[in-house]
A and B are shown apart, each in its own frame.
Chain A
Amino acid sequence: MAGPMVFEEKEKFLERLRGLVREGVPGERIRVITPFGVPEVEEILPRGRSKVRFFALVGAASGTVTGFAFTILTSLSWPLIVGGKPIVSLPPFLIIAFALTILFGALSTFAGFLLLSRLPSLRGIRSGEEFGNAFVILVEDGERQ
């Protein structure tokens, strides 16, 4: 594998990256490491929008369903009239469902992020390879698995 190409400046890094894509290097073999998120990289190496958003949607939907199901089923399982309110009183249950929507949505989005980014990565925690604030391009050989 060719050594990492290290750049101090963002513009030079982006130029080289565009050059590599123009030369015909397949996108899947190019890996980049940056000190902060660079939106231009997504334009040069398009990989589609992150699938984390599906985790968010599923989590939020399950939160709403759980919120209503939990409150309604538990109220029906021990039907006690409290404060003159109906057994299944939707306005309060809506509040619980709203809170759980946000909770499950946030937690499942976080879980989705960890899953899709393959974090925590033991190799990353123990690795000594540090690039500091540099922008790095790594091109993997075709033969490496």
Chain B
Amino acid sequence: MTAFLEKKWSLAVLIAAAGALMAFVSLTPAPGRGGSLLLAFLFFVAVVEGCIAAAAAGATVNARWVGSVRKELLSVTPLLLVASFLLLLLIPFVDSYPWAGKPGIWLRKDFFIGRNLAFLVLAYVTARRFAAAPADGEGTKSRAAWYLLVFVVSQTLTAFDLVMSLEYPWISALLGGYFFIESIYGGFAVSALLCLLFRGTPPAEHGHGSRSDLSDLSILMFGFSLMWAGLFFAQFLTIWYGNLPEEVGFLARRLSVSPLRELCVAVLFLLFFIPFPALLSTRAKSNPLVVSVAALSILSGILVERYVFLAPVVRFSPVALAIDVVCLLVLFAVVVYKGSREASLEA
């Protein structure tokens, strides 16, 4: 198996196989296929773009922790092309959006798919340029900055177009920002997991004043859990307080039905009430068990939250969803594995 993975063309083969499988599953005319693919796409794009964004953000501020997992994080770049392919598979699904019957200037099928696709491809191009630059080279910071600009626009468009327009005419101005902060949050969680997997546990006898890459990443996860909670509360409080029917409907549909209400509470726990207290103490920030639990909690929280966003308005097919998610996770694991092999060969 590892011999197969070592081959240069193995990734292309796997991508082709996964792509064919997902195309087959989602294009079959059965209810729930498109919705499942949308959910898998949203989660996947958030995590992939977030990983690269975490590395890019680290590069712009000369953060030290980036060096240890940079190669692995940037190895996910080709998956942005996979994401673009998935977006093309979603074209038939776009017809089920509420505005599809009466398109306007902004919400029309061709422009809708076109701009999202364009920014995904642009994200791939800028990510590739950033990944190709040496870690501490001259132009690396500016390439990282370009990627970050494209990333912000790409995630903002994903939020406003793919998610917010499902509930048209509901508006939340913060949704774009909320999505890209969650994406970077997920990126830091993945970075922490990669650091544990590939760089091992830091030595136990660290004085409490010194740093390690893992503890830096834990501090970032801790800080972002607070930031996430703040952004969540900003949206919730504004909608709750204003109590306007056109806004509150969005919350009501998700808080009044039984499985969704419990899932909403679960999201709060997974994205804040578990990572925040877990990573509070200094010792916990270097503890591999605590950090991996927090990171996995964050990643599952993002997935469950995307589900909660889509659930009242989109139909899912559990089988299709499982197939899509598994295919994408396998691809993710393979590229990261290959990236780490490359890194250890270089070292």
Contact = CB atoms under 8 A, between A and B. Distances in A.
Q: Touch between A and B in complex, CB under 8 Å?
A: yes
A91 interface: yes
Contacts of A39: 209
B241 A91 contact: yes
A58 to B, nearest CB: 15
B240 A91 contact: yes
A43 B236 contact: no
Nearest to B209: A39
Contact of B208 (A49, A84, A85): A49
Contacts of B209: 39
B168 interface: no
Contacts of B233: 91, 94
B168 to A, nearest CB: 26
Interface in B190-238: 207-209, 233, 236-237
Contacts of A84: 243
A108 B237 CA distance: 30
A91 B208 contact: no
Nearest to A90: B240
A91 B209 CA distance: 37
Interface in A13-40: 39
B171 to A, nearest CB: 20
Nearest to B210: A39
Given A84-B243, A91-B237, A43 B208 contact: no
B280 to A, nearest CB: 10
B240 A43 contact: no
B68 to A, nearest CB: 25
Interface in A57-89: 84-85
Contacts of B207: 43
B236 A91 contact: yes
Nearest to A57: B280
Contacts of A91: 233, 236-237, 240-241
Interface in B233-270: 233, 236-237, 240-241, 243
Contacts of B240: 91
A6 B241 CA distance: 64
A84 B237 CA distance: 14
A43 B208 CA distance: 11
A91 B241 CA distance: 9
Interface in A84-126: 84-85, 91-92, 94
A92 B236 CA distance: 11
Interface in B16-75: none
A94 B233 CA distance: 10
B238 to A, nearest CB: 10
A91 B208 CA distance: 37
Contacts of A85: 241
13 contacts: A39-B209, A43-B207, A49-B208, A84-B243, A85-B241, A91-B233, A91-B236, A91-B237, A91-B240, A91-B241, A92-B237, A92-B241, A94-B233
6 closest pairs, A vs B, by CB?
Answer: A91-B237, A91-B240, A39-B209, A84-B243, A91-B236, A49-B208
Given A43-B207, A92-B237, 11 more contacts: A39-B209, A49-B208, A84-B243, A85-B241, A91-B233, A91-B236, A91-B237, A91-B240, A91-B241, A92-B241, A94-B233
